[in-house]
Amino acid sequence: MSDQTPRNDHHATTHFGFRDVPTGDKQKLVGQVFSSVAGSYDLMNDLMSLGIHRVWKRYFVATAQVRRGDRVLDLAGGTGDIALLLKDRVGDTGSIVLGDINGDMLRVGRDRMVDRGKVAGFEYVQMNAEALPFPDASFDLVTIAFGLRNVTDKDAALREMHRVLKVGGQARVLEFSEVTQDWFKPIYDFHSFKVLPRLGKLFAGDAYSYQYLAESIRKHPPQDELKAMMGAAGFARAGYRNLSGGIVAIHTGYKA
């Protein structure tokens, strides 16, 4: 199950990277991290994935269950990478809601879309994934890429994703996960905890945020645990596919 402590406990704690913090503080702390890195978000992903995140995202969208005319919710939409790829799939008659809890990230995404001349068919909403501001059965597809691990109550977010899906709709989660090859784990750890923070300090002037992001990956539920969480949230046919030896995984579920 997830790592969150029930919210009705006034002394409840959750993890922020490798630190335990009061549950109510995590959202603010995560917000500070992403406000700090908003302007260098693509650089952050390049440093964390050695540039491969662009391939992962294209595959994530290319294999999604989505058609022209569909309405899609992209959670933790950040700078709009996933939404931009999805727009080609849903076409002129489809629409995409790009949602993020962080206003700085949302503004970067909106500005990029405008700069690229991509205006029609997009809506930008600042929202918390744990309490989505939409009626039941509002979307044909719900996606979240590299965002679920930063959500305080992952179970609540998964239940909300299920609630706003139409019957037969698909939810997809792209997230850093657990490396499957033992020989690669020491190399991956060295890159994450030794190299990445130094690169963050060098290129973005922020080692702390990059340290947190590396730690947050290790605290995220591994593949089978997240699959079970999706099942518990109501998703049918929950499953996953590892990419790049489990560095990331795509989890999928459907609303029966």
What is the percentage of the chain residues whose pLDDT exceeds 70? 86
Task: Check whether 45 is labelled as a binding-site residue.
Answer: no
- C-alpha span between 196 and 52 (Å, rounded): 15
92 marked as binding residue: no
The pLDDT of residue 32? 65
Q: Which residue type, as a one-letter code, is found at position 129? A: A
104 annotated as belonging to a binding site for a ligand:
no
Query: Rounded to whole angstroms, how far apart are CA atoms 40 and 200?
Result: 10
Sequence-distant (≥ 6) Cβ neighbours of residue 242 within 8 angstroms: 177, 180, 223, 248, 249
- Decide: 220 and 127 in contact? Cβ < 8 Å: no
- Chain segment 95-106, per-residue pLDDT in tens: 999 999 888 888
Query: Looking at residue 7, what is its pLDDT?
Result: 45
Give the number of other CB atoms < 10 A from CB of residue 229: 23
Minimal CA–CA distance to 61: which of 41, 35, 80? 80
129 labeled binding residue: yes
pTM: 0.86
Q: Which helix (H) or strand (E) holds 75?
A: strand 71-75
pLDDT band at 171 (very low <50, low <70, confident <90, very high): very high
Residue range 212-221, pLDDT digits in tens: 878 888 889 9
Average pLDDT along the chain = 87
